[in-house]
Amino acid sequence: MVDADVALLRNPRAHRRAIGAAAGVHTLVVVGLLVNAYLVPWETASCDGALDFCVSTRDEMWFLLVLSVPVLVISFVVALAMVPQLARRFSSPWTIGAVSGLVGLVVAVVVILFLIGSRVF
């Protein structure tokens, strides 16, 4: 049962291209987070008049940047695991990498939301 799709797995150049495309998807997410962190003014909320707990914009941005690290790590591991499975369906390494990157991001967000919902953090 060796066909062109399975032969893609045996081609190291195509395999590297698929992993590179998955890394490119993750790079776009990181660039988006950094642009968001740069464009949003961090000192828009003041906690001077707060009587109780107050979260400033600076705190929210640090929380977003710190939370994004485990999401991206889980996502990239899932994307690497998805490359061989997707190579059986698609023939283009760029399509394989992009789809595996997107699937990895969706799975990572679901896992993190599940962990937050079950109060593991």
Residue 47 belongs to a domain? no
Task: Write the DSSP symbol of residue 52.
Answer: S
Q: Is 28 among the domain residues?
A: yes
- More confident call, 5 vs 108: 108
Burial class (CB in 10 A: 0-12, 13-18, 19+), 101: buried
Q: How many domains does the chain have?
A: 1
Least confident of 4-18, 65-79, 82-96, 102-116: 4-18
Residue 79: which domain range?
4-40+54-117
**64 vs 98, residue with greater confidence:** 98
Kindly state whether residue 45 falls inside one of the protein's structural domains: no
Q: Residue 100 contacts by C-beta under 8 Å, 6 or more apart in sequence?
A: 18, 21, 22, 78, 79, 80, 82, 83, 86
What integer pLDDT is reported at residue 108 of this predicted model?
84
Please report, to the nearest 10 degrees, the dihedral formed by the alpha carbons of residues 104, 97, 76, 116 taken in order. -10
Residue 35 lies in a domain: yes
49 in any annotated domain: no
What predicted TM-score, i.e. pTM, was given to this entire model?
0.69
Higher pLDDT, 75 or 4: 75
